[in-house]
Structure 1
Amino acid sequence: MSGAVKYRSKAIVELMEMPAAEHDETWLKDALQQAVMLELATLPPYLCGLWSIQEADSGSDVSETMHEIVFDEMSHMGLVCNMVTTVGEVPRIADSDLVPKYPGPLPGGVQPDLTVSLTGLSKPALDMYSRIERPDDPVVEERETHTSIGAFYTAILEAFRSRPELIKGTRQLTKIMAGAHGQGNNVIPLRTLADVEAALRVIKEQGEGTAASPENPFPGEAGELAHFYSFRQIFHGRKLIRVSDDPPRFDFLGDEIPMPRTHPMGTVPAGGWVAGGVPVSATVQQDLTAFNRHYSSLLRFLERAWRAEQPAVATQMLNRAVVEMFNMQGPAQALMATPLPGGSGMTYGPEFLYVAEDP
């Protein structure tokens, strides 16, 4: 891939400013690495929101929606990694320069006025989630002028269509996403242009819906909404319904959606709690360390999975990554049950800091 890659850059904006005629092999490979970083960047804030829901409300509609969206995003990242390897590259995931950094912007300069942070589920957090997923032309609420994730994926699709010979089908992983809620949620091999087109449609439309409808075209249940609209209706506390057929119009005027009870996780400062000047006890530090180690191992196993030449080794690495994902939940929720000092009523939460492997 060309040049040095950094998490905080304007790389996506710069890629999108290049004329379509210049979207060559180098452009596509650079764009796909940025896409890997984008997909990974959404997971920590969504996971913090999900894990902050108290156990008593873990079966609520909001909790189920958050769980489904997290599984979708994991699948999307896997599909993008398969796009990277199908064109002969390896996704860079376990790299201190490339892992998400919070609070801060999304990678590549997407939506530069948006600050993404790690905090518990709340109205401000839901507004942040929906801004991440906002389509170019939503069927409800205002549109914004910026480089959206959906527009970026459209450009990637057109680059694949103009150069289908780049699709080699190398090092393709398969993962049946146990617990996934709808169609298109498994990580599948991408060996043809049709495979890539289908995968990109899943990624775009599960997040943004279509220009004509807020519904997820790949639902677990009929009428399920795309991520943007799911987040917006939880934010508004009312289901999104069609209020007019001619012209089609939607509004948040449906049944009430109660917010679940949550642990009031505070916003993790840059570099983590200690770096932000927040005192931590020995027990809190133990949970922070355990979480960061599991998270870092998860990233390393993911990268090794897509680097592996032998399918059996790749599957083993991917399965070990899944184990680490589940290992993260215990210390995360222990932190969210521990009050911050100072009597603010807020709690600690996971930092998602990458820790290099011991030599």
Structure 2
Amino acid sequence: MPDVRRNRSDAIVELMAMPAAEHDETWLKEALQQAVMLELATLPPYLCGLWSIREADRGPGVFEALHAIVFDEMSHMGLACNMLTTIGGMPRIADADLVPTYPGPLPGGVQPGLSVSLTGLSKQALDMYSRIERPDDPVVEDLDAHTSIGAFYTAILEAFRSRPELIKGTRQLERNMSSHGEGNDIVALTSLGDVETALKVIKEQGEGTAASPDNPFPGDTGEPAHFYAFREMFHGRRLIRVSDDPPRFDFQGEEIPMPRTFPMATVPAGGWAEGGVPVSDDVREHLGAFNRRYSSLLRFLERAWRTEQPSTAAQMLNGAIGQMFQLEEPARALMETPLPGGSGQTYGPEFRFVGDEP
């Protein structure tokens, strides 16, 4: 069994290489732990893009689409945690060896060669987001083919189907998130049917289906799956069907203007100071506040899925949500602060996991 204790391992690639007959309880627990961290890994880059959009441009279009994707990913992470706990596992979230670091690869070796970084919204960032979400068989623009997130979830689904007796319904958290879109609720997974539905939501919200780029579980009618939404933003045009026989799609629809943004530079490895960028006292204060709140959020999440008491779990989840809403203030303060040297770029959040709370 691969070592999944490090966030830069090839654990998912190794798990996928194992014969299906060996996809037992241990395999499934390790795979689901990787799934939890994979969903977490998408949130910091997407949030940096979202928060970099200037206030005046926060409305229909790119901002609303990116906002919806962020909430989808939060729901996916919650469902992955419920899948792990329903078979008796315990998510490891607040773990310095596992928390994704940037720039770097996705957890487990998914999409090898892709370096995920923290930066403001741009065409380059949108291309990076697209490569994170790339389906195995997209209906348009087949980017570099590697192990996809969807293929990994398909393997997890088949493991559940071969061992449904593992599903016990233990430590299940529930959260009504229907205001953010169809299928976005975090629901208890107590049967194989529940797990199948959860995996369908995760896969098809991200990748669409083999026949359509639409998100089958949208917030708004006609909302595309994540991969296609990012490609639309990248091209600046809606993806539309241009032929029925054969079915063909192209970016020839309504124009999608790029919003005005704060020019957040790419966070260097280890953070701004470690990357050799001078950091003033004010910037250090904002960075510290952000990293402490982010770390507290991860601790709340881990405690929520580890406790046996439903009331305590609900309190911990509420605590995590509270910390989430407190992240944007220091992030925006950093994005409004120019880097030294006159490049015109700004600082931004580091999403670093810091030591134990006092």
Question: Aligned partners of 1:177, 1:298: CA distance in 2, in Å?
Answer: 18
Secondary structure in 2 matching 1:165: helix
Is contact 1:2–1:26 with CA below 8 Å preserved after alignment? no
Question: Aligned partners of 2:274, 2:3: CA distance in 1, in Å?
Answer: 30
| Aligned-residue RMSD, C-alpha | 1.1
The sequence identity of aligned pairs, in percent, is 75
Pairing 1:16–2:6 present: no
Which residue of 2 is the match for residue 112 of structure 1?
112
**Residues 221-243 of structure 1, C-alpha deviation per residue, up to 9 Å, x if partnerless?**
22110000000000000000000
Which residue of 2 is the match for residue 211 of structure 1?
210
Is contact 1:136–1:143 with CA below 8 Å preserved after alignment? no
Question: Aligned partners of 2:143, 2:76: CA distance in 1, in Å?
Answer: 24
Which residue of 1 is the match for residue 7 of structure 2?
7
Q: Give, in angstroms, the shift of residue 358 of structure 1.
A: 3.4
Corresponding letter in the other structure for 1:58: R
Question: Aligned partners of 2:298, 2:249: CA distance in 1, in Å?
Answer: 40
Question: Aligned partners of 2:129, 2:143: CA distance in 1, in Å?
Answer: 16
Corresponding letter in the other structure for 1:177: M
Corresponding letter in the other structure for 1:78: G
Question: Aligned partners of 2:34, 2:152: CA distance in 1, in Å?
Answer: 10
Q: Give, in angstroms, the shift of residue 176 of structure 1.
A: 1.3
Which residue of 2 is the match for residue 39 of structure 1?
39
Which residue of 2 is the match for residue 30 of structure 1?
30
Which residue of 1 is the match for residue 255 of structure 2?
256
Question: Aligned partners of 2:121, 2:62: CA distance in 1, in Å?
Answer: 10
TM-score w.r.t. length of structure 1: 0.98
Which residue of 2 is the match for residue 279 of structure 1?
278
Question: Aligned partners of 2:281, 2:15: CA distance in 1, in Å?
Answer: 46
Secondary structure in 1 matching 2:249: strand
Secondary structure in 1 matching 2:271: coil
Secondary structure in 1 matching 2:66: helix
Is contact 1:49–1:119 with CA below 8 Å preserved after alignment? yes
Is contact 2:215–2:224 with CA below 8 Å preserved after alignment? yes
Is contact 1:9–1:107 with CA below 8 Å preserved after alignment? yes
Is contact 1:266–1:347 with CA below 8 Å preserved after alignment? yes
Pairing 1:224–2:194 present: no
Question: Aligned partners of 2:47, 2:4: CA distance in 1, in Å?
Answer: 29
Pairing 1:96–2:110 present: no
Is contact 1:137–1:143 with CA below 8 Å preserved after alignment? no
Question: Aligned partners of 1:186, 1:178: CA distance in 2, in Å?
Answer: 6
**Residues 66-112 of structure 1, C-alpha deviation per residue, up to 9 Å, x if partnerless?**
10000000000000000010000110000000001100100111111
Question: Aligned partners of 1:84, 1:260: CA distance in 2, in Å?
Answer: 38
Question: Aligned partners of 2:295, 2:179: CA distance in 1, in Å?
Answer: 23
Is contact 1:60–1:260 with CA below 8 Å preserved after alignment? no
Question: Aligned partners of 1:27, 1:246: CA distance in 2, in Å?
Answer: 43
Is contact 1:15–1:31 with CA below 8 Å preserved after alignment? yes
Which residue of 1 is the match for residue 157 of structure 2?
157
Q: Give, in angstroms, the shift of residue 177 of structure 1.
A: 2.0
Secondary structure in 1 matching 2:242: strand
Q: Give, in angstroms, the shift of residue 60 of structure 1.
A: 3.4
Question: Aligned partners of 2:309, 2:83: CA distance in 1, in Å?
Answer: 18
Residues 138-157 of structure 1: matches in 2 within 5 Å?
138-157=138-157
Q: Give, in angstroms, the shift of residue 277 of structure 1.
A: 0.4
Secondary structure in 2 matching 1:79: helix
Q: Give, in angstroms, the shift of residue 340 of structure 1.
A: 0.5
**Residues 180-236 of structure 1, C-alpha deviation per residue, up to 9 Å, x if partnerless?**
1x2110100000000000000000000000000000000122211000000000000
Question: Aligned partners of 1:228, 1:357: CA distance in 2, in Å?
Answer: 36
Corresponding letter in the other structure for 1:205: E
Deviates more, 1:73-82 or 1:51-60: 51-60
Residues 49-88 of structure 1: matches in 2 within 5 Å?
49-88=49-88
Q: Give, in angstroms, the shift of residue 19 of structure 1.
A: 0.8
Question: Aligned partners of 2:2, 2:197: CA distance in 1, in Å?
Answer: 27
- Following superposition, which runs of at least 4 residues in structure 1 exceed 4 angstroms of deviation? 1-4
Secondary structure in 1 matching 2:326: helix
Which residue of 1 is the match for residue 131 of structure 2?
131
Which residue of 2 is the match for residue 244 of structure 1?
243
Corresponding letter in the other structure for 1:300: R
Secondary structure in 2 matching 1:28: helix
Is contact 1:136–1:144 with CA below 8 Å preserved after alignment? no
TM-score w.r.t. length of structure 2: 0.98
Question: Aligned partners of 1:291, 1:144: CA distance in 2, in Å?
Answer: 34
Q: Give, in angstroms, the shift of residue 144 of structure 1.
A: 3.1
Question: Aligned partners of 1:286, 1:253: CA distance in 2, in Å?
Answer: 46
Corresponding letter in the other structure for 2:349: P
**Number of corresponding residues:** 358
Corresponding letter in the other structure for 2:121: L
Pairing 1:356–2:355 present: yes
Residues 287-326 of structure 1: matches in 2 within 5 Å?
287-326=286-325
Secondary structure in 1 matching 2:70: helix
